[in-house]
């Protein structure tokens, strides 16, 4: 439950911060003629706000992956607590949930095969399946 909330929040967080900074730009732009102290303060504080936004994101992502790893070590999906299938993609092990189809890599991060150049054209083999997942191993390159 808390994992799903954190992951959803972390997915919208970068876009939300971007739009907040764009909104701050328009506020500063509107105040340039009315009251020039506001844009000056916003420009100076924006440097610190970028650092705060970045550190907040790193802390939230750290918690998200910590929760995911704690659950994955028990062989359970962090989002729905179903037993995960362990797949081997090249040299790396990924865990796939047979219920909600989420895939996690070794550090607990969501695994997106298209974003891994080193895993392109690597074969995917099922290392061991979850007890309740009576699913045939997906074999081949683009399958997982």
Residues that bind Zn ion (CB under 5 A): 77, 79-80, 82, 97, 99-100
C-beta closer to Zn ion: residue 82 or 92: 82
In the complex, least distance from residue 76 CB atom to Zn ion, rounded to whole angstroms: 8
Can you list the pairs that 33-41 forms with residues at least 24 positions away whose Cβ atoms lie under 8 Å? none
C-beta closer to Zn ion: residue 40 or 100: 100
In the complex, least distance from residue 94 CB atom to Zn ion, rounded to whole angstroms: 13
Give the separation between CA 57 and CA 64, rounded to whole angstroms: 10
C-beta closer to Zn ion: residue 104 or 124: 104
Give the separation between CA 89 and CA 95, rounded to whole angstroms: 10
Can you list the pairs that 118-123 forms with residues at least 24 positions away whose Cβ atoms lie under 8 Å? 118/90, 119/89, 119/90, 119/92, 122/89, 122/90, 123/90
In the complex, least distance from residue 103 CB atom to Zn ion, rounded to whole angstroms: 10
C-beta closer to Zn ion: residue 53 or 77: 77
In the complex, least distance from residue 132 CB atom to Zn ion, rounded to whole angstroms: 12
């Amino acid at each position: 439950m808390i994992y799903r909330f954190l992951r959803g929040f972390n997915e919208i967080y970068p876009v939300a911060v971007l739009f907040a900074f764009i909104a701050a730009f328009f506020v500063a732009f509107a105040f340039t003629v009315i009251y020039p102290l506001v844009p000056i303060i916003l420009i100076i504080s924006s440097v610190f706000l970028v650092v705060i936004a970045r550190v907040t994101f790193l802390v939230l992502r750290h918690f998200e992956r910590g929760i995911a790893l704690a659950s994955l070590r028990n062989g359970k999906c962090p989002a729905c607590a179903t037993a995960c299938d362990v797949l081997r993609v090249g040299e790396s092990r990924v865990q796939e949930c047979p219920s909600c189809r989420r895939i996690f890599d070794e550090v607990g991060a969501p695994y997106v095969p298209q974003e891994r150049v080193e895993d392109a054209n690597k074969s995917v083999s099922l290392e061991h399946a979850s007890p309740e997942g009576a699913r045939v191993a997906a074999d081949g390159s683009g399958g997982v």
